[in-house]
Amino acid sequence: MVLGIETSCDETAAAVVDQDFHVHSSVVESSIDEHRAFGGVVPELAGRAHVATIGPVVRRALDEAGLNATDPAIEGIAVTSGPGLIGSLLVGLSAAKGYSLAWGVPFVGVNHLEGHLFAPLLEASDLEWPFMTLLVSGGHSLIVLQREAGAHEVLGETIDDAAGEAYDKIARWLGLGYPGGPEIDHLAQEGTAGTLKLPVSMTGDDFDLSFSGLKTAVVRATQHSDVALADVAASFQAAVAEQLLRKLRRALEHHPVKGLALAGGVAANSALRAGVVELAAEFALVPHLPTMAMCTDNAAMIAAAGLYRLRASGPSPMDLSANPNWQLADVS
Ligand code: KG4
Ligand code: ZN
């Protein structure tokens, strides 16, 4: 069994997962309420919240897994060491090193994005390799070909904003709350897509994504118009989903796979989920839509990636640093 620790952004999370990817516990505490007033995550506040919360969260994860908190029967610790907010990452990393020394077990630094890639494996026992994953969150948007556990190729990624970031910024522009994704998604249900004529970005011959042009287009189109807010939300939501699904279709045309998975916070989006189900049917694939708990940041996915990393590359050294800009590298 491995203890996972995640503190890359505003969630303080700990989980216990075994080698069959059975989740024995998964505890997530978020400091989001402290950030709402600022319209985005304030790094300093997030870091301080992690310091106060990490100990109790780890203890709860051990308790809920039925493990002794002072001498738990775990064989390793997996911790997110990047990418993310440096002050937040360091809290989790320091905690992992402390537990590693105290319990005499190895620890391994895990790439947060690789963690997201393992999330579908925790929920879908019928998942067949290879499969295509659209990973869309507040910080990242990638299309990844997953060949087998731990072996993946990044086919395309955003050249500017992440999909969730675009949602959050447009929500702020429209005067909606933070985080903006759920707010716009909710409002979009009452609006008509296409009311606002928006460009479809990135129609090129690659798998890359871009949301900055769309964001500017929404701002321009709403500056001096009285289009209903719900119609703006529906039009924006449709444009984001169309771009993502278009590029995903291209990826599926070029790389035959057996499954199609969604990951990351934006995987909660209703238009995207519906579109992925349709796309999967078109290509006769099994769609893997994560539960809401598995869409957002959690430590079970970090523990799963760590189980793999400990086996494949061994433990990390005690002087491992956090890497706030750690890119997801291709692994064959
Ligand atoms: O994966 P996540 O919890 O944190 C990051 O690693 O970024 O993703 C958070 C992002 C936020 O930008 C939020 O607005 C977006 O996911 N999000 C959504 C929805 N729910 C959350 N975006 C669109 N539609 C949603 N229903
Ligand atoms: Zn994430």
Mean pLDDT, consecutive 10-residue stretches, the chain (332 aa), reads 97 97 97 92 97 98 96 96 98 98 98 96 90 96 95 96 96 94 98 93 86 95 92 97 96 97 96 98 96 94 97 97 95 87
| Ligand located closest to 10 CA | 1
- Residue 84 token pair: 């993310």
Centroid of ligand 1 to alpha carbon of 11 (angstroms): 12
Looking at residue 199, what is its pLDDT? 86
- Closest alpha carbon to 244 in 152, 120, 158: 158
Centroid of ligand 2 to alpha carbon of 274 (angstroms): 21
Residues with CB under 6 A from ligand 1: 9, 137-139, 164, 167-168, 179-182, 185, 264-266, 268-269, 296-297
Residue 132 CB partners (closer than 8 Å, separation 6+) = 143, 144, 145, 146, 248, 251, 252, 255, 257, 259, 260, 261
Looking at residue 3, what is its pLDDT? 98
Q: How many CA atoms lie within 13 A of 202 on its CB side?
A: 26
- The residue whose CB lies within 8 Å of the most ligand 1 atoms, and thus the one to mutate among 137, 142, 276, 292, is 137
Terminal Cα-to-Cα distance of the chain (whole angstroms): 26
The DSSP letter of residue 199 is -
**Structure pTM?**
0.95
Q: How far apart are CA 319 and CA 304, in angstroms?
A: 23
Looking at residue 125, what is its pLDDT? 78
Centroid of ligand 2 to alpha carbon of 113 (angstroms): 7
Per DSSP bridges, beta strands 11-17 and 23-30 are antiparallel
The DSSP letter of residue 141 is E
Strand ranges across the sheet with 259-263 = 151-157, 141-148, 131-136, 259-263, 286-288
Which atom of ligand 1 lies at the shortest distance from residue 165's CA? 12
Which atom of ligand 1 lies at the shortest distance from residue 270's CA? 26
Residue 198 vs residues 51, 180, 222, 251, 307: alpha-carbon distances, Å: 43, 19, 11, 24, 44
The DSSP bridge partners found for residue 5 are: 14, 79
For ligand 1, atom 8, name the residue with the nearest CA: 265
- The residue whose CB lies within 8 Å of the most ligand 1 atoms, and thus the one to mutate among 266, 269, 273, 294, is 266
Q: Where are the alpha helices (DSSP H) in the chain?
A: 32-35, 43-64, 86-103, 112-123, 163-173, 180-188, 212-223, 229-254, 270-282, 292-295, 300-313
If you search the block for the tokens 């042009």, which residue do you land on? Answer: 213
Centroid of ligand 2 to alpha carbon of 104 (angstroms): 29
Query: Residue-wise over 274-283: b if at least 16 C-beta within 10 A, else e?
Result: ebbeebbeeb
Q: How many CA atoms lie within 13 A of 166 on its CB side?
A: 30
Which atom of ligand 1 lies at the shortest distance from residue 8's CA? 6
Which atom of ligand 1 lies at the shortest distance from residue 178's CA? 14
Centroid of ligand 1 to alpha carbon of 319 (angstroms): 32
Looking at residue 31, what is its pLDDT? 96
Q: How far apart are CA 298 and CA 226, in angstroms?
A: 40
Centroid of ligand 1 to alpha carbon of 94 (angstroms): 27
For ligand 1, atom 19, name the residue with the nearest CA: 181
Centroid of ligand 2 to alpha carbon of 136 (angstroms): 8
